[in-house]
Chains A and B, each alone.
Chain A
Amino acid sequence: MNQTPVSCLPNSSKMSKAKRVLEEAKEIQNPEIDLIDRNISTFEELPGLFSMLNITRLTLSHNKIKCKYLNNSTSSYYCCISNNFSAVPPGLANLTNLEILNLANNHLEELPLSLSSMPKLRILNLSFNRLYGLPRGFGAFPILEVLDLTYNNLNEKNLPGNFFMIETLRALYMGDNDFEYIPADIKNLKNLQILVLRENDLIELPKEIGELTRLRELHIQGNRLTILPPEFGNLDMAGHKSVFKLEGNEWVTPIADQLKLGISHLLDYLKSETYRISYTRYQTNKPPIPPPCIDKAKKISRIR
């Protein structure tokens, strides 16, 4: 792992490149900023960014931005000289017109609380980072529609209490995380159309997912699931616009058999009286929990 100390006074060549992009954007009043793969590790390398109030999209994919701020108080925030901590500062929240914020493939371990107050943020991409949790109150986004948390270190224990309160969400990507259970609160995400839980450690799913009537993409492949709540039969997953990914689980035999016949067979079976009776039986006599299927230690997101 690259532990070379990075000064908070960034090297001039790096700064000039990023700076040039910002200057250009300012000049031509470009509301969409792309700073991809520029080796950026701190927002100090992007002077004046937080005063570009007109920008609507900020894409910072494939950089080295970290967030381990010690101090939440505005300007003194950057007093991180002499150590290698860089951050997503609360200053980002100044960009009140921002609709798309893409921080995919950075080194983020934490996020500032202020992010969720961004009034126009619709799409937030935090995939391929090192998040071990989300700040308290993270679920307060007023209009967030797409949240990408793919490939982090999240699980049900390090989510903030209001996480499933983002009612406006239509897509939630949480593949490659460490969830064993999903809270019943997920039923609050009434507008959810896409839910990805691929390759977590899921042992069980809550019946409340059956209440997400608008769901048309559900990825639960590569988990440790054995049974499904009968309520899943309510989901419109057999339609031509729907995708239901279930492979790579240790399904009990009747589910596995129906799955071989097709997804509509499975849904009919889940709705049947037969399954309801079997399900009650499974509740008291649970099938053995399969072991984790992926060696998570190899995940890059684990790097500390």
Chain B
Amino acid sequence: MFRNMFKSQLPQDRSPDIPDLKPLECSVLYKRRAESREHLTEEIGDYDDLSEFSDQTFEVANYQYVCPTPDVVNQTLERKTSIVKVKAEWSNQRLNGAMSFDKMICSRCSEGFEPHEKIVNSNGELWHQQCFVCAQCFRPFKDGVFYEFENRKYCEHDFHVLFAPCCGKCGEFVIGRVIKAMNANWHPECFRCEMCTSELADSGFIRNAGRALCHECNAKVKAVGLGKYVCHKCHGIIDDQPLKFRGEVYHPYHFNCTACGVELDSNAREVRSRPGFAANDMNELYCLRCHDKMGIPICGACRRPIEERVVTALGKHWHVEHFVCAKCEKPFFGHRHYEKKGLAYCETHYHQLFGNLCFVCNQVIAGDVFTALNKAWCVHHFACSICDQKMNQKTKFYECDLKPVCKKCYEKLPTELRRRLRRQHEATPKKYPPPTVA
């Protein structure tokens, strides 16, 4: 529909100060006309004669914009600028002397021209100044700018209203370069990748599930669909194991070992070269051999190097988050762990699996357990807390701060304290059961 659209510019008449005249050979139009002289009609030919004498008043520029991107259907736009400045006096002289002046007629009204009249020349057609107007509003073209469509000329305003395409994104008229793609028209700066929003007008695009994507994003989408990564350097799909480096994935072969220079494979190791720093932009890559020579501890659980906090336990090194309870698999994170037969347990599961800890020796109670006062004791250590004398399940004892106190010791406690303890016991009806032996 818009294939024949031209945007033309006709500068205002600036008769008093004509720029320096250029030689005839500078005129593109002249050259073109000269080449196709024999095909011209008589009328044109007459005109052409005129132009031979007055060519220096012609300035024709011919620009062509072609956007060769294969994926974008680009409008081929031709902008023609034509300036006709025929000085009345001068025209008169020349035209008087010429045989064809009275043959020249206006393209609109078919009338001839007065000797002193200004003549508008647009693409070889001549016009009265008052006839060179918009086909819609009949007003002269503002700043000499008009749009031509199906042989009619329109002012900018009416052309937009009648014919200009609207941008599929912003809804404004598209003047100048139009991108026709995805069944719509776009400003070049409005046609962008739907994932990364980069402009697509000059780089081209790929239709992916109804979206316009740049080549890079399309590759990423495709790779994700295949369960693969896209190399951050070459944007190609990574078919084998990717190499992670500073938070991105790459084909390993883009890198060399920092130490020995060998081309890397996916076994390469990223080493935090400023330990403790959160940013990874100081990290370096090493081949496995060089890495192992650096003496970085390897985690006993995941077999990968430990670059941050190392936990050493059970004769091995561990990532803090990989040193876990053998039963519940929760990391200890610095909390106490209990070892048994080469395995580590959290307190809960150690007790659950292997029994109580004695309050005195803090060891797992293998045999009989005394439980009383919220605590447990092994047979060797169930004793008075003040005199360390052993007690058994038959021994009568008192309680002070949930510690067992034998009768002898209790009687030696300060009288005022005993009074307070007695009062407390009376206030709390809860009786502590005698020790039970399990």
Contact = CB atoms under 8 A, between A and B. Distances in A.
A176 B417 contact: yes
Nearest to B424: A221
B18 interface: no
A30 to B, nearest CB: 13
User: Which of B374, B417, B424 has the most chain A CB atoms closer than 10 A to its own CB?
Assistant: B417
Interface stretch (B129-137, B242-250, B321-329, B384-392): B384-392
Given A61-B409, A241-B374, A247-B428, A34 B389 contact: yes
A36 B417 contact: no
Contact of A104 (B362, B386, B416, B427): B386
A195 B347 CA distance: 19
Nearest to A173: B401
Interface string A238-250: 0001010001100
Given A170-B362, A198-B401, A199-B420, A61 B374 contact: no
Contacts of A170: 362
A123 interface: yes
A199 B424 CA distance: 11
B374 A105 contact: no
A151 B387 contact: no
Contacts of B401: 150, 173, 175, 196, 198, 219
A57 B381 CA distance: 12
A264 interface: no
B402 A247 contact: no
A42 interface: no
A304 interface: no
DSSP majority for the A interface? loop
Interface residues of A, number: 47
B412 A62 contact: yes
A243 B399 CA distance: 14
Contacts of A214: 335-336, 347
Contacts of A176: 417
Interface string B321-363: 0000000000000011000000000010000000000011010
Nearest to A150: B401
B97 interface: no
Contacts of A148: 385
A163 interface: no
Interface stretch (A88-96, A252-260, A294-302): A294-302
B412 A36 contact: no
Interface string B392-427: 000000001111000001001110110010001001
Contacts of A165: none
B362 A299 contact: no
Contact of B402 (A145, A199, A243): A243
Interface in A172-225: 173, 175-176, 191, 194, 196, 198-199, 213-214, 216-217, 219, 221-222
A153 interface: no
A194 B416 CA distance: 25
A217 to B, nearest CB: 6
B305 to A, nearest CB: 29
B413 A128 contact: yes
A59 interface: yes
A61 B388 contact: yes
B388 A299 contact: no
Contacts of A175: 401
Contacts of B428: 247
A241 B400 CA distance: 18
Contacts of A241: 374
Interface pairs A-B: 7 shortest CB-CB: A300-B414, A59-B388, A61-B387, A196-B401, A104-B386, A298-B416, A36-B387
Given A34-B387, A125-B385, A150-B401, 5 more contacts: A61-B386, A62-B409, A125-B386, A127-B386, A213-B335
22 contacts: A59-B387, A61-B386, A62-B409, A62-B412, A102-B386, A102-B387, A105-B409, A122-B362, A128-B414, A171-B359, A173-B403, A175-B401, A191-B336, A214-B335, A217-B374, A217-B402, A219-B401, A222-B420, A243-B402, A247-B428, A248-B424, A299-B414
